[in-house]
Amino acid sequence: MIAASVPTVREEFKALSPAQFFARYREIAGFSNPTRALYQAIRELVENALDATDSHGILPSVKIIVRQDSENPSHYVITVEDNGIGIPPQHVPQAFGRVLYSSKYVLRQTRGMFGLGVKAAIIYGQLTTGKPVEVITSQPGLKRIYYFKLRIDLQKNQPIILERGSWRKSRDWHGTIVSITIEGDWSRAKQKIIEYIKRTAVITPYANIVFVAPDGVVLFYKRNIEQLPPPSKEVKPHPHGIDLEFLKTLKENKNFKTVKDLLINSFQGVGEKTAIDVLILSSIDPSISPSKLTERDLVRLAETLKAYKRFRAPKADALSPLGREIIKAGLRRIFEPEFVEAITRRPAAYQGHPFIIEVGIAYGGKVPMSSDDGPILLRYANKIPLLYDEKSDVSWKVVSKSNFDWSQYNVSLPAQLIVLTHICSTKIPFKGVGKESVADVPEIEKELRLALREVARKLRIYLSKKIREEEKKRRIIVLARYIPEVARNLAIIASNGKGDKVDGILLEKLSEIIARRTGADPSEIIMVAKQVEVGV
């Protein structure tokens, strides 16, 4: 998170050596090579831009421009502009020039990794091109727009301000424009970046997104719904979701006199009675000071917290699902399907972490053809598209043909079928460090399957209705195509020379008979019949 000073959302920051951090996390943060780095940098900036808008009740307008540096073709200038809440000017050097640590005492579902990613991008740019980062920002209500040109002193983990300035706003603009220069490889990264932008556009139908590529290609996704997903709230962690390390950090908190008070105030779902209960079970005197807790006390406490069955279920307030309408609008915006449906499941929990599953389905229209093995799958975790390792993701396991009988739902694969899965959680159970696929957690798998069944059932109803209607239409055409022939022939036998007149009457009567039988409109059938040409 870049944004810090908003009334409803406040996060605490703590310093850590960025050089240390980046040295350790360069690969993990996704900056292993120029191709990957270009993609990752765009991602970090776009996700920050969206977090600065939709989490704060603003309909996003995000513009992404990637330009090749004319002096050095392997350098790319990435500029991302949003219309978000902006950054207080006094925080800008810190926000971009110093790696910040966001408190883990509160949990809230956001896209970015506590603002670490964008700093990784800045450092990577600085290391590969030597170019500084430029930031232009203003907040709602401020009269001026602020401009900064910064670099990071890697040794001291301090921003170096190269230029700064401000000017009066001529219009009520607010938002942030960040521009960085990094070494990249557009031709190799292109496909992945465009796919990322497109998949982001699918779940942000409430955002206008413009993407200008270095080769001049422009993608524009126009907002088609004026509704934002409800913002998430901060919540305390649930006791089932913690570990020993977390308890050690907790112990350092000097605000509480007793262990009992510490527990009550640090977790959700823990009251006086429960706290005492848990502490007695862990053989800890509830009235001692947290600083008196030994290593062995902490181990026992951690075990008890994990095993204790009587906590209330974790709160889902921290989660921000997209909602049915937004998913539907998003699928419509990109694929113009003939059928679209979505569902948001009720909150559930695994290992003390609340989660919500959302599933969308789109069929026909401009939806591309799927493979034989399953529908086209669009996976999202906390509103971030997951592009890789699809086949090892729990979502694939659920939607693939081998585990889901699509034929039961009137779908025969391959089909023009998309399934969108969105997992919101304060902790997504990713497989490995790549964060591209979600692990087979039984609770999540079950929720995904229930959600998929529900939307697929609606698709089945739609398709069987469509099949019935097509059957009716086909029947009308089969019958109507012979009307002129039959009318003409019977008129020849019945007319005694008044052929044409009888012909016309018979044509109308036959149309009426077919209309009665098929429940169609006679005029519709006459129209079909009159389009038929009987060759001579």
Partner 1 sequence: MPSKVDLEVRRRGIKLFQEKFGRLVKRILECKPPTLVIPKRTLTNTIYDERRRLLLLGPEKLRRSFLDVNEAKKFAQTTLMAAIIYEALINNEYPTIRDLYYRGKHTIRYRDIHGKIREENTWDEQRESDAVIRDIEVYLGILREELLILSKEKGKVVGNMRIRSGGDIIDLSKMGHGAYAIEPTPDLIEFIDVDAEFVLVVEKDAVFQQLHRYGFWKKYKSILITSAGQPDRATRRFVRRLSEELKLPVYILTDADPYGWYIYSVFKIGSIALSYESERLATPDAKFIGVSMTDIFGDKNKKPWLSPQEAKNYIIKAKDADIKRAKELLSYIWFQSKAWEKEIKIFLNKKAKLEIEALASKGLRFLADTYIPQKIETGDWIL
Residues lying near partner 1 in the complex (CB under 8 A) are found at 470, 473-475, 477-482, 485-486, 488-490, 492-494, 502, 505-506, 509-510, 512-514, 516-517, 528, 531-536
Q: What is the DSSP letter of 320?
A: -
C-beta closer to partner 1: residue 143 or 517: 517
Query: Closest Cα partner for 32 from 433, 438, 437, 439?
Result: 433
Cα 328-330-334 angle, rounded to 5 deg: 120
Radius of gyration of the chain (CA): 30
C-beta closer to partner 1: residue 46 or 479: 479
C-beta closer to partner 1: residue 192 or 475: 475
C-beta closer to partner 1: residue 364 or 375: 364
Question: Rounded to whole angstroms, how far apart are CA atoms 279 and 262?
Answer: 11
SS3 per-residue string spanning 261-315: HHHHHHCCCCCHHHHHHHHHHCCCCCCCCHHHCCHHHHHHHHHHHHHCCCCCCCC
Measured from the CB of residue 372, what is the shortest distance to partner 1 in angstroms?
24
Burial of 504-535, coded b for 16+ CB within 10 Å and e otherwise, reads eebbbebbeebbeebebeeebbbebbeeeeee
Query: Closest Cα partner for 167 from 152, 191, 148?
Result: 148
Backbone angles phi and psi of 175, in degrees to 5: 140, -170
C-beta closer to partner 1: residue 233 or 481: 481
Measured from the CB of residue 365, what is the shortest distance to partner 1 in angstroms?
15
Measured from the CB of residue 525, what is the shortest distance to partner 1 in angstroms?
12
C-beta closer to partner 1: residue 217 or 478: 478
Measured from the CB of residue 489, what is the shortest distance to partner 1 in angstroms?
4
Element (DSSP H or E) covering residue 493: helix 483-494
Measured from the CB of residue 354, what is the shortest distance to partner 1 in angstroms?
48
The neighbour count for residue 256, using CB atoms within 10 Å, is 16
Query: What's the token pair of residue 287?
Result: 């009235």
Instruction: Give the side-chain half-sphere CA count within 13 A for 28.
Output: 9
Measured from the CB of residue 415, what is the shortest distance to partner 1 in angstroms?
18
C-beta closer to partner 1: residue 27 or 500: 500
Measured from the CB of residue 510, what is the shortest distance to partner 1 in angstroms?
6
C-beta closer to partner 1: residue 257 or 474: 474
Measured from the CB of residue 218, what is the shortest distance to partner 1 in angstroms?
34
Measured from the CB of residue 412, what is the shortest distance to partner 1 in angstroms?
19
Contact 236, 105 (CB under 8 A): yes
C-beta closer to partner 1: residue 291 or 531: 531
Measured from the CB of residue 531, what is the shortest distance to partner 1 in angstroms?
6
CA 284 to each of CA 248, 297, 300: distance values in angstroms, whole numbers, following the listed order: 15, 7, 9
What's the length of the chain? 536
Question: Rounded to whole angstroms, how far apart are CA atoms 109 and 524?
Answer: 55
* 477 CB-near residues (< 8 Å, 6+ apart): 528
